[in-house]
Structure formats: C-alpha cells, structure tokens
Amino acid sequence: MKPLFTLLLFCFFVINSAQKSAPDSLLLVLSKTKELDKITMLQNQISEAYQAYDPSEMQKYAKLALINSRKSNQKIQEAKAFQNIGVSYIVLTDYDKAIQNFDASEKILIKQNINSEEVKEVLAKTLGSKGYVYMEQNRYAKALEYDFRAMKIYESIGNKLQLSKIYNNIGVIYNSIDDEKKALEYFLKANSLQKVQKNTAVAVSASNIGLIYLKQNQKAKAKQYFDESLKAFEAFPNPKGLGELYNNYSRYYISENQYDSAKSFLQKADETFQSIENKFGLSDTYLLLGEIYFQENNLGKTLELANKSLEMSKELDLPETRMKSEKLLSDIYDKQGNQELALQHLRNYNLEKDNLEKIINEQQRLRTELDFHYEKLQLEKKESERREKLKIVLGFVILGFVLAGLYFYFRNKEREKTLMLQKQLAEFEHKALHLQMNPHFVFNCLASISSFIMQNGKEDAMKYLSKFSKLMRLTLEFSKESAIPIDKEIEALQNYLELEQLRFNQKFDFKINKDSEIEDDTAIPSLLLQPYVENAIIHGVAPKEEKGFININFTQKDEQLICVIEDNGVGIDTSREFKKSSVNIHKSMALEISKKRLETLEELENKKVNLKIEELKDENNKGRGTRITLELPLNYIKD
C-alpha cells in the first residue's frame, strides 16, 4: 500500500487548492502587467499553476520570479520562488536540489517578521515540503520533525485546510512504518477537518481509515468508512483513489467469504486502473483476483493473474506483492503436479519473504527510534520544567546560604576568610588535576558536534553523539596512561575519523593499515597522532573540491615504529595561501603540544624521534597532498 500513500502525501501537500487559476488565464494577466512587484507575484502564481501539468514550465517561471524578486527586494516572493523551484525538483525526483531550494526559502523566511501570517504560511509550506522529501528518502524521523513544525504553525494561525493536509501527511509517514495506531490517529484528525470543509480529499482519507480498521479486524467500522469514501468519490471523482477503494472493498468481502461481491469490486478496480494505466493498483487487483480464482479451483485463470501481478510487482519493486505472487504460483503448480516449477517458485517466495522480513525489521527499528525520539522530547520538556522549579528553590537556598555566609563573614572576618580561601584552593587544585585530560582534543570534538548539530539536525546528531561518547570513554581511559597499545590508538583514530566524516558530509574516505609484524602490545603515546590527522582533514582534504582520501600506515623497522599519515589534499603551499587570505588565522595549539610531547619523549627515552612533514608533488610540480612521517622508539606495554 505504500505507493498509494506516497502519492497522496505529495498531492495533499504541494497543491494549494482547487481554486488555483489555470496557467493560461494568469499568463494573459501577466502580459498586461507592467509593475515589477506584481509581475513577480504573477510569475510565482503561474509556477504553482503549472505544477500539475509541466514541472519544467513550473521551474522556468519560478526562476523568473526569483530574478525579479531580487531586483525589487521582495523577500517573501523570493522565498516563494525558491519554494516553487524546490517543488518542481520534487516532481522531477531530484530530491537533493529540492532540499537545497527549500533550505534557501527557509533561511530567508526566518529572517522576516515571524509574526506575519503570510510569512508563517510560506514557512509552514516549506517545512512540509522538506518533510515530504525526507519521507521519500525514508528518513522518517526528520520527516516528522518538519511536519510537526509545519503542524504547529498551521494550528497557531488556524489554517484548517492546510492542517488537514499535514495531519494526513503525518498519518502517511506512520503508515509507511506500519505504526497503524498513530497513522489512524492522524488520518481521523484529517478526515474530521475535511468533512467540515467539504474537502475533496475526504474520500481518500476515509478509504485509508477503512483499510486500517479492516487490518485491525474492526469490519463494521471498515465498511462504514468505505461507504463514506464511495459516496465522497461520487461527488469528487478521483480514478486512482476510487480504484484503491474498490480493492479495499474486495478485501472486506474476502474477509467475509463473499467472493462474488469481492470479484465484482475487483473487476471495477481493473477497469478503473486500466483507464489511467496505473500498474501499482493493478498489481494488487490481479493478485486479489488470482487468490479468489485459486479458492474456486480455476487454476488457468489464477496462473494468468498471478503472472501479471508478479511481472508488475517486479517492475515497480513491490516486495510484499512479489512474495505473495510467488507463493500463489507455487501453490498453482503444486496442484497441477508440476513439482519442479512449484519448488522453483517456493524458493523465490522464501527469498522474497526474507527480504520482506528485513524491511519489516527496519520498520520496527524506525518505530522504536521515533518512539524514543518522542519520549525523549517529552522527558526533556518535563526535565526543563523540573529544572525551572529547582532553580527557584535553589535560589532561595543559595540566598539563605549567602546571607548566612555574610553573617559569619562579618562575625569572624579573618578566620572565616582564611578557611574559605583554603577550601577554594583545595577545590581548584582538585579540578586542575582532572582537567589534564587533553582539554584541547575534547574541545575540538565538542566544537565538531556543535557544528554538526547546527547543520544537520537531530537525527544525525544523535549518531554523532553516540560516536563522541565512545571517543570520550577512550579519552578518559587514555588520560590515565602515558602510553597505550597501538590497537587502542587505532580504535580512537577510527572513531575520530568517522566523526569527522559525518561532520564534513562524507567529504573524504580513509584507511588505516597496521603491519602484521607489529605486536599487539606495541606502545604508543596516547592521542599523539590525532592532531596530525585533524590537520590533514581541516587543511588538506576539506578545502579540496573533489572527495579526499586519508591513508594511515603503521610499520616497524629495526627498533623504530613508523607512523605515516598521507592525504591527497590541497598540499602545504596551497593551504598556507588559504591561511594568508583568511581573516582569522587559526594556530593549532594541538600541534604545538604534540611537538613538545615529542621533544620530551626524546629526552626521556634518550632515543631519536623524527618528525618529517613533506608536500607531495605531481608530474606538473603541483601539490597533490601532504605526507607526515613520525618515527618513534619501539616500546611495549608492560603488564
């Protein structure tokens, strides 16, 4: 059923209303208009009118509106133009460009007067459009995040028409992950508003509600909503939705063992879907018909229909329909005594079943993730309220302590002052000892997380925080020791590089190699290499236009552990040029600290420590990256 719900989501959200003027009439008005601000507004309206007909023309007029809105400094029209361009890319299924344009629209709108109802309307539509794109990309947590934001705006301005659509969108997302309870909740909300508004979408939402009730074995309610849907389709024709309703009716009658009535509705569905060449609906129709004919022992007709359904489901990538079609074909050939073909389709059925189980497991994981996300928000809300109350209580407590402290201070003066300073000194010394945990490295990680949260939103930030917590645990462990096993250092580098990959949107790949001759208990100073790896990312591969690569090699030669960090970034010379042209030149304290650590290590070990940084050149003598070679004395972890 997902293709149906997906189509509904798109149609519900991006089409504003049935009263939109046709492109031709708007073009006529545009030809007679001279004022630039009115021309811009008309171009946006024409763009919206074209979305149901021609996405290329929609994009064309939106881009014209974008140019003119900038000339006349019409920020809201500029935001609408970006929004329309984004919608055109949705129709063209270029979701990355769609998101880019929706982001541009949102960025403009949040700088405007947020109390303006027009700004709220455009912002809500932009947020809902982003929600649709994320839903199409199966990023359901982010889809719900934007849909809920849009919902709150529509609720605040009382726009019941758009609110009914966003309720439906949320229902579609929950239905996509088989969370029928929440899907039903939002479909019912949408349906209730649609009835009041006499909205054309009421027929489709009623059909969806009826299907969920049927899955829950609440047959009376299912039939009630199917009947409401059929009546609404008579007033508001929609062949796609009507065909799906006929399929749903057949499911109801099959559950009641009324096969003649079921076949009657499936024949109507067949005619309806044929009229609009809709293979999504036909694949279900043929499968349902085939199952009925199989019960009637009409194997020839069943075989024909099962093969049709299988062919369409393969073409459209419908795993559940493929699985059921393969099972039906296996049963047919088994009845016909063709064991070879029966076994072949049974094997196919088992493969499809395994694939479907993976999808179901993923849906369960997503439901758990969404539930966790929702519960987390509720807990954060309660925790925030608790903290506010606690602040008040603590305020009075602190005030009481302050007053008492002042009383004792003036009473005992020097004695109390001396004791307080001694206590503070002890506390500061205690804190100072704990702050030796490589603060620069921790600060850089926290800065990375902060940047990532601001840029990428909550879902990916949770993944980032999970990796960071592991890195913090390793850092805490490493802070206790001056040297650690090499495998632990590699584990920390692996985790750090994965964090930076997320931060820079997979801007680079990496590989870490350890020579087989290196023993597991080989020691290396803890967190020594991280600053050099950071430097390779920030000043090497990050400024590069193409995707970068960082290669880290550990080898052993004589009594030396050799660590080589090589990147294919912009090179040292180019990086220095970038730094010169930068207003704020960053001096890496971590590299200075690492340098001092190496000097100290050389003195303690009384062995040579070599650090070599060289720029790699191509055949045209242009920089093609940087190589850092570090030679350390070979040591081992002592038990």
Q: Which domains does the chain have, with CATH numbers?
A: 1-158 (1.25.40.10), 439-636 (3.30.565.10)
Q: Which one-letter amino acid corresponds to residue 266?
A: L
Q: List, in sequence order, every residue forming a beta bridge with 633; answer none if it has no partner.
A: 560
Q: Which one-letter amino acid corresponds to residue 561?
A: L
CB 616 within 8 A of CB 623: yes
Token reading at 249: 């009716």
pLDDT computed for residue 363 by the predictor? 58
Q: Are strands 522-525 and 548-557 parallel, antiparallel or unpaired?
A: unpaired
pLDDT computed for residue 374 by the predictor? 57
Report which secondary-structure segment, H or E, holds 627: strand 623-633
Cβ neighbour number for residue 141 with a 10 Å cutoff: 19
pLDDT computed for residue 372 by the predictor? 62
Cβ neighbour number for residue 137 with a 10 Å cutoff: 13
Minimal CA–CA distance to 46: which of 69, 68, 22?
Answer: 22
pLDDT computed for residue 107 by the predictor? 92
CB 86 within 8 A of CB 105: yes
pLDDT computed for residue 439 by the predictor? 58
pLDDT computed for residue 220 by the predictor? 94
pLDDT computed for residue 467 by the predictor? 77
φ/ψ (deg, to 5) at 558 = 55, -120
Q: Are strands 548-557 and 560-567 parallel, antiparallel or unpaired?
A: antiparallel
Q: List, in sequence order, every residue forming a beta bridge with 557; answer none if it has no partner.
A: 560
Q: Which residues of the chain fall below pLDDT 70?
A: 1-22, 138, 356, 359-381, 384, 407-449, 451-453, 455-461, 475-482, 527, 578-594, 596-597, 599-606, 639
